[in-house]
Chain A
Amino acid sequence: MSTTTPPITPPSSPHSPSSSGGGGGEVNYINATKGIKSWMFTVDHKRIGLMYMVGVMSAYGLGGLFAILLRSELWNPEPSFIGGAEAGTTEAMNNAWDFYNQAFTLHGAVMVFLFIIPAIPAILGNMVLPIMLGAKDVAFPRLNLLSFYFWVLGGLFFVWVLSKGIINSFYPGMIEIWGPGGLETGWTFYTPYSTTTQNSAVVAATFGAFILGFSSILTGLNFIATVHMLRPKGMGWFQLPLFLWALYATAIIQILATPVLAITLLLLIAEKTLGVGIFNPALGGDAVLYQHFFWFYSHPAVYIMILPALGIISEVVSVHSRKSIFGYKFIAISSLAIAFLGFLVWGHHMFTSGQSALTNAVFSLITFFVAVPSAIKTFNWIATMYKGDIRITTPFIYILFTIGLFTIGGLTGLFLGCLSTDIHFHDTYFVVAHFHYVMMGSTLFAFLAGVYHWFPKMFGKMYNVFWSNLGGIIAFIGFQLAFFIQFIAGSQGMPRRYASYPEHFEFYHQVSTVGAYTMGAGMIIVLLTWIVALRTGKKAPANPWGGNTLEWHTTSPPPTANFHAEPTAEEPYDYSGWKYVSPEEGWVQRTPEEREAARQQLGTGH
């Protein structure tokens, strides 16, 4: 990595961001150095973010593909993916069920470990966190790169292990070449299923998840140290952009929860390979202990997935409503509150696992507490939009979807947190619909909103607004089609994780499958808009939205060191300093006199 010689711009030529719009030969982080090595060994947080983006989106494609296959199997109660077997035979049925079990495991595990958890922190967080702080990089740049390679290593291993069994089920001949494999335990690896099934790649898969955990821990560690140590002068904790509050809360969860997953997976490996018996009552272990351990990580992990998404909402809502965020401190603290409460509610996954009634009641109560900070955020976003100068931009449309999906997902969570109703809904499609609304609906659409919000900053290109909006709207309709009906199916008793079902559920499943296809089409449009924008997009201005967080104070895309001149911290949600000029130049900074006039005209304090 020391072979690349950095081009140095003379220190005597500090540009102001707005003046740099014209020059075509601008040196930025993308074109600063060339060659594959300059990417593979880079320690630039922005390049690492981009590499994550490629990897994470590939994982998303794989997980999405299997979602489509799952829904195809569920189109009717008969077995569909029967491999080489003759239709109607028992073998055909077994093949289809095997395939289904492995497919939903792969879908869940890839989406959780490879897509949702790293999506926002590793891609967008890496990209903008240091810039928002006015820093040149994260605190530990090389650790950041290491985290990426852990992700790649763990991810490849994980995908390989999970795909092997599925390939085998289509080409039985491959078993002789690389042996049996595949995982059919579901992404949760519940014991005793995971410890007793034969031919299951539990050990390999958990080892992959273990490595991915390291990646997650290193990213979290980096973010915590960066937020603590690299804030510029004048930026106190309450001048921190809300996205960073969300990332900070996320990082705390990553640090505190992921090690517990690591030890859980190690124990599971020991259980499987050595027969240790920690989770096996026949050997003196505790049957539910695994679930306790697993959810002690995985419930907070749900907040690893959703908190950064909530942070993006706070940013986008404020910028595109041209209004200072309402209730800044409440939103900031509520992120920490969610992180804290997230550690106290894991037992609500085990209401039917034989916990004592008292334990259930306590976990149920604390679960309801989570609704408080979540509602605080939602009301504050709506209050921010109220009487705002709303611009219906692409990110804003996606954010509206996110808030809607988050609200539905959150409110249906109340039915699951409530003991009496949960007994009925447990392990039904109601649960499936609920967590897809919260994790997938909210996080995915917020992630897309974030990408569209920062796309001009990341790549210096603008995208096609019409197609981007259309893709989002199609995906949103598809999502609602696919999942809303699952609430009904679930409340009527359709259990999750079955490849077949009674006839009268066929209608629900077919609607759901059509929804999944629609959503897939929408997502393909979204991805195409990104690719087209990268190739032919118009040059983006430094500040296309008029945001005031520090990333809008530098050029698009930023130079390798992020800023041409040392930035000074400002109130992140004070928009009085910017005026709109033209699509090409975007928003430019007002002179102090203009700013004062604008303030008086607006009648706002700041």
Chain B
Amino acid sequence: MTQVTDSHTDDHTGHAGHDDHEHHGPPHLAHHFETPEQQLSSAKLGMWVFLATEILMFGGLFCAYSVWRGNHPEVFAYAHTALNKDFGFINTIFLITSSFTMAWAVRTAQLGRTKATFILMGLTLLGGCGFLVVKTFEYKAKWDHHLFVGDLNEHHPDYVAPAEAAHGEADGDHGAVDEHATIEQTAADHGAADHGTSDASVEVAGETTGETAGEIVGGAERTSIALAPDGPAGVVADWMVAPVIAGETADAGHADDHAADGTDEHGAHGEAAADAGHADAHGGGHGDGHSVSKEIVPLKDRQKIHQFFQIYFLMTGLHTFHVLVGMGVIAWLMFCKVPKGIFGPGYYTPIDLVGLYWHLVDLIWIFLFPLLYLIH
């Protein structure tokens, strides 16, 4: 007999054409499988193989992470303090919980409990939404602080400051500041010129703000000079203490924004307060009672902070994209498939597969969280 392939179209949705088949299979059995078990096993095998490809794809990123961290351990140790562990922790909870509800949804789908499946998948979706909301806040804060990816990071050589910060002084100003700096850096550490200002801010906190960004626009001084890491005693100041990364930069607001990462008032503050009270900001930052590591961070490492944020955004960005895709599929199944009541003991493959995918996305986050947020 000839069973023609067009009945493939009915794989998951209908069953026309299967009636001629010599084995009258259940409605969801595609013509080229013998039994539903074989079909389910194939689908699961396919999904596992696909997940292997996902792991290898992220594996490339983890590998790049290792190389970078191996090359610049001090940058990573310092820069990660700009991330908000609390947000990371909340997101971890969101994803683990949603993984749990997803696993539960697979179970209820197997039992054919349509309503429970619907609700549990809805909860999973909510978990994903919560993750995205938190992630949005985090990204927004980084954006506000010019700590974004690539040349949108103010420490990047090609960074072009936004217009509002472009009222910096002439280079000459800086020449003066630079004089009491000591070590020549590589061209990569370009940013040091601007950060010469920081030196000033040690002594006269609040007065030199606004220069930095302007300087970057000017950008002439690529042969940067920075403080010696083992610099003169007594230069241990607020801005040298993690996590006050922005102490040396234009935005006074950075300091507390980093500490409080993404709270609205500070964000606004950071934008507007280029010239505002520097000292205030510092005070605010530390006043939050954030757990602040009191290690002294050499200036040259703080200027490489963009290196950390490149890999941070690539890894979390790709992961967030996967969360979005997973949410899309879950929403599609939840609203278009589950209400039809087609899932039960005999057929629950799509729910099972999206569950596997969701767990993988969760798992990748479980690795990202410590690697990016909890470095010591």
Task: Say whether A and B bind each other.
Answer: yes
Query: Chain B contacts of A255 at CB under 8 A?
Result: 49, 52-53
**Known contacts A6-B17, A8-B1, A11-B1: A275-B156 contact under CB 8 Å:** yes
Most buried by B among A225, A282, A559: A225
* Docked complex: A441-486 residues within 8 A CB-CB of B: none
Partner of B54, one of A2, A14, A259: A259
Partner of B64, one of A14, A257, A278, A564: A278
Partner of A266, one of B2, B9, B20, B318: B318
Query: Chain B contacts of A282 at CB under 8 A?
Result: 157, 186-188
Query: Chain A contacts of B46 at CB under 8 A?
Result: 139-140, 143, 221-222, 224-225
B59 touches A260 (CB 8 A): yes
Chain B proximity mask over A139-153: 1 for CB below 8 Å, otherwise 0: 111110000000000
B2 touches A559 (CB 8 A): yes
Partner of B2, one of A9, A143, A260, A278: A9
Chain A proximity mask over B1-25: 1 for CB below 8 Å, otherwise 0: 1111111111100000100101000
A267 within 8 A of partner (CB): yes
Which among B81-89, B144-152, B197-205, B229-237 touches the partner chain? B144-152
B50 touches A221 (CB 8 A): yes
- Expressed in whole angstroms, the Cα–Cα distance for A550 and B122 within the complex equals 48
CB proximity of B228 to chain A, nearest CB, Å: 20
Query: Chain A contacts of B67 at CB under 8 A?
Result: 286, 289
A260 touches B9 (CB 8 A): no
A4 touches B6 (CB 8 A): yes
* Docked complex: B284-310 residues within 8 A CB-CB of A: 304, 306-307, 310
* Docked complex: A494-535 residues within 8 A CB-CB of B: none
Query: Chain B contacts of A224 at CB under 8 A?
Result: 45-46, 49
A274 touches B45 (CB 8 A): no
A11 touches B22 (CB 8 A): yes
- When C-beta atoms are compared, the residue in chain A nearest to B187 turns out to be A282
Q: Is the interface of B mostly helix, strand, loop or mixed?
A: helix
**Known contacts A141-B8, A263-B60: A276-B310 contact under CB 8 Å:** yes
CB proximity of B21 to chain A, nearest CB, Å: 9
CB proximity of A66 to chain B, nearest CB, Å: 31
A561 touches B3 (CB 8 A): yes
Query: Chain A contacts of B17 at CB under 8 A?
Result: 6
Query: Chain B contacts of A136 at CB under 8 A?
Result: 3, 5, 31-32
**Known contacts A10-B1, A256-B52: A278-B310 contact under CB 8 Å:** yes
- When C-beta atoms are compared, the residue in chain A nearest to B5 turns out to be A44
A229 touches B9 (CB 8 A): no
Most buried by A among B2, B59, B156, B157: B2
**Known contacts A229-B38, A267-B64, A560-B2: A259-B156 contact under CB 8 Å:** no
A331 within 8 A of partner (CB): no
CB proximity of B318 to chain A, nearest CB, Å: 7
A43 touches B5 (CB 8 A): yes
- When C-beta atoms are compared, the residue in chain A nearest to B307 turns out to be A284
A293 within 8 A of partner (CB): yes
- Expressed in whole angstroms, the Cα–Cα distance for A572 and B72 within the complex equals 57
Query: Chain A contacts of B136 at CB under 8 A?
Result: none
Query: Chain A contacts of B56 at CB under 8 A?
Result: 256-257, 259-260
- Expressed in whole angstroms, the Cα–Cα distance for A172 and B106 within the complex equals 60
Partner of A260, one of B57, B150, B151: B57
A289 touches B64 (CB 8 A): yes
- Expressed in whole angstroms, the Cα–Cα distance for A263 and B20 within the complex equals 46
Query: Chain B contacts of A139 at CB under 8 A?
Result: 32, 42, 45-46
A422 within 8 A of partner (CB): no
**Known contacts A255-B53, A263-B58, A273-B150: A286-B71 contact under CB 8 Å:** yes
Query: Chain A contacts of B11 at CB under 8 A?
Result: 142
B60 touches A264 (CB 8 A): yes
B57 touches A225 (CB 8 A): no
**Known contacts A259-B60, A260-B60, A283-B188: A6-B307 contact under CB 8 Å:** no
CB proximity of B329 to chain A, nearest CB, Å: 15
- Expressed in whole angstroms, the Cα–Cα distance for A281 and B304 within the complex equals 12
- Expressed in whole angstroms, the Cα–Cα distance for A285 and B310 within the complex equals 10
B125 within 8 A of partner (CB): no
Query: Chain B contacts of A2 at CB under 8 A?
Result: 6, 9-10
CB proximity of A543 to chain B, nearest CB, Å: 20
* Docked complex: B138-175 residues within 8 A CB-CB of A: 149-152, 156-158
A225 touches B45 (CB 8 A): yes
A141 touches B5 (CB 8 A): yes
CB proximity of A58 to chain B, nearest CB, Å: 25
Query: Chain B contacts of A225 at CB under 8 A?
Result: 42, 45-46, 49
- Expressed in whole angstroms, the Cα–Cα distance for A560 and B187 within the complex equals 65
CB proximity of A204 to chain B, nearest CB, Å: 18
- When C-beta atoms are compared, the residue in chain B nearest to A285 turns out to be B68
Sample of 14 more A-B contacts, CB < 8 Å, known A225-B45, A267-B314, A561-B31: A8-B2, A229-B42, A255-B53, A257-B56, A259-B56, A263-B57, A263-B58, A263-B59, A267-B60, A273-B150, A274-B149, A277-B306, A278-B311, A286-B68
- Can you report 20 A-B residue pairs in the complex whose CB atoms are below 8 A from each other? A2-B9, A6-B6, A8-B1, A11-B22, A43-B6, A44-B5, A136-B5, A221-B50, A222-B46, A229-B41, A255-B53, A274-B149, A274-B152, A276-B149, A277-B307, A278-B64, A284-B71, A560-B4, A561-B1, A564-B2
